[in-house]
């Protein structure tokens, strides 16, 4: 069992870049594009408790903003449990984090995100 406590400093700029893009696009009301960056931040950060939980918090806020009962209801359990699963290393790798995807479903990691892990000197999760 792996215990993850903090995101490696080499990966952090990529995660923060996705969150920054999310914020900018949200302010421009480009909702689909903004959401896409949250999904990418989720995949990058899901192995780390704080980052994983923070993305689910942002997804919950997004669901409230767009008045989506499905997204709000889907994010609450993810917000409560996601960080714990990250800590003990039992994440559904590649899952993009939205309520449209079952919470335990693994998905293939996009090549773009695999390259981010490689640039950060981290083996992509599998």
Coil vs helix vs strand at 116: helix
pLDDT score, position 36: 98
Residue 24's pLDDT is: 98
Do the Cβ atoms of 47 and 11 come closer than 8 Å?
no
pLDDT tens, per residue, the chain with 126 residues: 556 788 999 999 999 999 999 999 999 999 999 999 999 999 999 999 999 999 999 999 999 999 999 999 999 999 999 888 888 888 899 999 999 999 999 999 999 999 999 999 999 887
Domain edges within the chain = 12-119
The pLDDT, as a whole number, for residue 22 is: 98
Full-model pTM: 0.94
- First-last CA distance in the chain: 15
């Amino acid at each position: 069992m792996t215990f993850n406590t903090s995101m490696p400093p080499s990966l952090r700029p990529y995660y923060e870049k996705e969150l920054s893009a999310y914020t900018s696009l949200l302010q421009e009301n480009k909702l689909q594009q903004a959401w896409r960056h949250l999904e990418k931040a989720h995949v990058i950060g899901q192995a780390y408790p704080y980052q994983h939980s923070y993305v689910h918090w942002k997804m919950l806020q997004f669901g409230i903003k767009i008045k989506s009962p499905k997204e709000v209801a889907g994010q609450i359990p993810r917000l409560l449990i996601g960080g714990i699963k990250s800590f003990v290393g039992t994440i559904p790798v590649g899952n993009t984090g939205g309520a449209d995807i079952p919470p335990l479903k693994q998905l293939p990691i996009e090549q773009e995100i695999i390259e981010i892990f490689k640039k950060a000197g981290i083996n992509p999760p599998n």
